[in-house]
Chains A and B, each alone.
Chain A
Amino acid sequence: MAAKQEIVHVNSSSELQSLFSSTTYVALDFYADWCGPCKTISPFYAQLSDKHAVPGQLAFAKVNVDHVQDVARQYGVTAMPTFLFFKDGKQVAVNGQAAIRGADARSLTAAADKLGGLAKKRAAEA
């Protein structure tokens, strides 16, 4: 088994681009330090990363909207927390949802399970 992958903190647009080029599937959590719901879901998101992240295949990353405004603007984040999903750098809907807005543990778990399955399959085929 590969070593456990930590949550990736994205600090700039270029860091995000390099994450996209190194990793097939990326989940992004847009949050702010002030935001209570963001804080509530944060340990949950970390658990999902522990369970599903696969180096090179699936990464769980976080974007602090206060610090990395351009990325939040690029993806039209309008409420927090917002979770978006990417494949090869392109935003994709998971389970029919283009974005998960709010601390919605159930939808987030379902999306992570789905991506985790796809990532595992790709890793096995590689």
Chain B
Amino acid sequence: MHSKVVVIGSGPAAHTAAIYLSRAELKPVLYEGFMANGTAAGGQLTTTTEVENFPGFPKGIMGQALMDDMRAQSERFGTEIVTDTVTTLDLSSRPFKYSTEFNPDETHTADTVILATGASARRLNLPGEDKYWQNGVSACAVCDGAVPIFRNKPLFVIGGGDSAAEEALFLTKYASHVNVLVRRDVLRASKTMANRLLANKNVTVHFNSVGSEIRGGDDGLMSHLVVKNVATGEEKVHEANGLFYAIGHDPATALVKGQLDVDEDGYVITKPGTTETSVEGVFAAGDVQDKRYRQAITSAGTGCMAALEAEKYLAEREDA
């Protein structure tokens, strides 16, 4: 299959790009992936609950519902959405070539690519983490919170940002108590979320604290977390039946490794004020190129930019 433009991603950047491209009648093909980077189609918003700061939804909207609507809007204007993960991408010659997980032997081509692969949740690699991964340790509170091993049990969240605050508040529905470990002496979360977290009687925020070891019982399930106070060096063993990571994300750039210029943290570098990457015809939008804002609305904004820039690029090539 050859396409004028292929969008790789499934979050707000990808779907905003697809909406603009399909309305411009460029017949975009969007690869939403199948659990690409371990995240459901829709991206990081599928791991959240209520989104309260996306304009146009004064009463808030569930992250999954927002993404369902964006997807429906892409489809409405003729975007071809493929539930498959792009696993190889060759940007060394034109047209660009790629193949997918479910049809690895078939090679497709595209004149332009919009990379909107986002970012995936980071792990801490604490001692005991591999052993108790999915047996108490989880990267998605919203996915796993309801399982019986967490009911009326003490749970821990590591992280100090908005997503940590949100996960902790979500877990109060199930836990006997939720503890939040924050490495610094201050929460990085927005004022609204920080206040909500600190005011909740079922949540204790431990500042200057990090997890140092995960321990479990004979049943193979996590039972304790060793917490270290980074100010005093003191370690304490806490009863803990669940541990949830909300410590940020790494950009999903494996596909373009060695092909696009990235910064020291691995984010794709775009020309300031544009979504142009180091390869002409490849545009990057959303969290894969943004370590500063990382909001649904900024992702959508750069997705729009990428679509308009791809459209212009294609028009100029046609004229030439």
Residues of A within 8 A of B (CB): 32, 34-40, 65-66, 69, 72-73, 76-80, 101-105
Contact A36 B39 (CB under 8 A): yes
Count the B residues whose beta carbon is within 8 Å of the partner chain — how many?
25
Quick one: which of B39, B140, B148 contacts A77, CB cutoff 8 A?
Answer: B148
> In angstroms, how far is the closest chain B Cβ from the Cβ of A18?
22
Contact B46 A36 (CB under 8 A): yes
Which residues of chain B are within 8 angstroms of A102 by Cβ–Cβ distance?
35, 134
Contact A39 B146 (CB under 8 A): no
**Could you name 17 residue pairs across A and B whose Cβ atoms are closer than 8 Å?**
A32-B146, A34-B142, A36-B142, A36-B143, A37-B40, A37-B140, A40-B34, A40-B40, A40-B41, A65-B147, A65-B148, A72-B147, A77-B148, A78-B221, A79-B138, A80-B143, A104-B35
Contact B64 A36 (CB under 8 A): yes
Contact B148 A103 (CB under 8 A): no
Which residues of chain B are within 8 angstroms of A72 by Cβ–Cβ distance?
147-148
Chain B residue nearest to A81 in the complex (CB): B143
> In angstroms, how far is the closest chain A Cβ from the Cβ of B45?
9
Which residues of chain B are within 8 angstroms of A78 by Cβ–Cβ distance?
134-136, 144, 147, 149, 221
B47 contacts chain A at the CB level, 8 A cutoff: yes
> Complex: how many Å from CA A80 to CA B148?
11
Chain A residue nearest to B142 in the complex (CB): A34
Which residues of chain B are within 8 angstroms of A69 by Cβ–Cβ distance?
148, 151
Q: Given A32-B143, A34-B142, 12 more contacts at CB 8 Å?
A: A32-B145, A34-B143, A34-B146, A36-B40, A40-B34, A77-B147, A79-B135, A79-B143, A79-B144, A80-B143, A80-B147, A102-B134
B42 contacts chain A at the CB level, 8 A cutoff: yes
B49 contacts chain A at the CB level, 8 A cutoff: yes
Which residues of chain A are within 8 angstroms of B148 by Cβ–Cβ distance?
65, 69, 72-73, 77
Which residues of chain B are within 8 angstroms of A76 by Cβ–Cβ distance?
149
Which residues of chain B are within 8 angstroms of A38 by Cβ–Cβ distance?
143
Contact A79 B40 (CB under 8 A): no
Which residues of chain A are within 8 angstroms of B134 by Cβ–Cβ distance?
78-79, 101-102
Chain B residue nearest to A82 in the complex (CB): B147
Q: What 0/1 readout, one digit per residue, does chain B (27-48) give for beta carbons within 8 Å of chain A?
A: 0000000110001111000110
Chain B residue nearest to A105 in the complex (CB): B34
Chain A residue nearest to B45 in the complex (CB): A36
Q: A69-B148, A69-B151 are in contact. Are A35 and B34 (CB under 8 A)?
A: no
> Complex: how many Å from CA A69 to CA B174?
12
Chain A residue nearest to B132 in the complex (CB): A78
Quick one: which of B35, B142, B149 contacts A35, CB cutoff 8 A?
Answer: B142
> Complex: how many Å from CA A12 to CA B181?
37
> In angstroms, how far is the closest chain A Cβ from the Cβ of B88?
18
Q: What 0/1 readout, one digit per residue, does chain B (56-93) give for beta carbons within 8 Å of chain A?
A: 00000000100000000000000000000000000000
> Complex: how many Å from CA A37 to CA B139?
12
Which residues of chain A are within 8 angstroms of B49 by Cβ–Cβ distance?
34
Which residues of chain B are within 8 angstroms of A103 by Cβ–Cβ distance?
34-35, 40
Which residues of chain A are within 8 angstroms of B47 by Cβ–Cβ distance?
36
> Complex: how many Å from CA A104 to CA B140?
16
Which residues of chain A are within 8 angstroms of B64 by Cβ–Cβ distance?
34, 36, 39
> In angstroms, how far is the closest chain A Cβ from the Cβ of B121?
12
Chain B residue nearest to A67 in the complex (CB): B146
Which residues of chain B are within 8 angstroms of A32 by Cβ–Cβ distance?
143, 145-146
> In angstroms, how far is the closest chain A Cβ from the Cβ of B319?
42
